[in-house]
Amino acid sequence: MTVKQIKRKIPTLIMLLISVIYLVPIWLILVNSFKSVSEANLLGIGLPENFKLHYENYIIVFQEGGIVRAFFNGVLEAACSSLIIILFSSLAAFIIGRRQNRITNIVYYIFICGLIIPPAFVPTYMSLRLMNLLDTYTGLILIFTAYGLPISIFLYTGFLKTISRQLDESAFLEGCSPIRIFYQIIFPLLTPVTTTIFIFCFVGAWNDVMIPMFFVNGDKWALPLTLYKFKGTYGTRWNLVFADIVITILPLFTLFVFAQRYMIDGLTAGAVKG
């Protein structure tokens, strides 16, 4: 093997090494979810002793963890907030992208500030208490919506600026109202970026553990927070924790498998047009 061939294979070897680094934690979680309590507490990456798989770990997690209720909570909170974000951010981006003036520019940069300003839990708590929305699905959905609007408006506005204004003018001459122009002509063209925004917002709301812990009780927690039911002050049932993690990531893994192509199309379409 020549020096040139070795140099060509170095990037491949580096990527393989990085892949192994990422796969080891996944393997550790998966293999320990099928072990007994004593074996899982060792946090090893080897197979279970005598190749005995403890499938009952998953049954216990479903029975004690409230998985069905937590799954319902996660889908409700993540899906509702994502749909609301898409509705309002697309409308806001349509106005910002089409009306280039001082007011729309100021509004746009105000939303962009939401990308860098850290969450303020105390004012949020006071606002929810004032509106009597503490410990409610509505309050939680509104918080996720507020945190997801800045990035969504940013992506929509960038994509909208690449769509020709001649479409709007032609539809206006045909007698279409602005709202009809948006929903029948513009919004269908936003499908790639809409899919990307939905996935980003859904995953963000699904995986968030801080906001539910602060603003709602345990009966409204999503799947990621069910881990605390198997982690105690004086001991942790690691086999059940790992089984719970596997159950938690399965819905998102399924979502990514089916929506991966649309996410890539949404990101690359905006990049090519920009």
pLDDT in tens, 124-171: 999 999 999 999 999 999 999 999 999 999 989 888 888 888 887 888
Q: Which residues contact 62 (CB under 8 A, 6 or more apart)?
A: 68, 247
pLDDT in tens, 34-60: 998 888 888 888 888 877 788 899 999
Q: What is the pLDDT of residue 263?
A: 66
Q: Taking the model in full, what pTM does it have? A: 0.82
Q: What is the pLDDT of residue 101?
A: 85
**C-alpha to C-alpha distance for 165 and 181, rounded to whole angstroms:** 11
Q: Is the pLDDT of residue 261 over 90?
A: no
For the chain, domains (ranges, CATH) are: 3-56 (no CATH), 57-273 (1.10.3720.10)
pLDDT in tens, 66-107: 899 999 999 999 999 999 999 999 999 999 988 878 888 899
Confidence of residue 272 (pLDDT cuts 50, 70, 90): very low
What is the DSSP code string of the chain? --HHHHHHHHHHHHHHHHHHHHHHHHHHHHHHTTS-HHHHTTT--SPPGGG---THHHHHHHHHHTHHHHHHHHHHHHHHHHHHHHHHHHHHHHHHHH--SHHHHHHHHHHHHTTTSPP-HHHHHHHHHHTT-TTSHHHHHHHHHHHHHHHHHHHHHHHHTTS-THHHHHHHHTT--HHHHIIIIIHHHTHHHHHHHHHHHHHHHHH--HHHHHHS-GGG--GGGGGGGGB-SS-B-HHHHHHHHHHHHHHHHHHHHHHHHHHHHHHHHHHHH-
- 170-193 mean pLDDT: 85
Q: Is the pLDDT of residue 119 over 70?
A: yes
Q: What is the pLDDT of residue 72?
A: 94
- In this structure, of 81-95, 104-118, 255-269, the range with the lowest mean pLDDT score is 255-269
What's the chain's average pLDDT? 85
Q: What is the pLDDT of residue 82?
A: 95
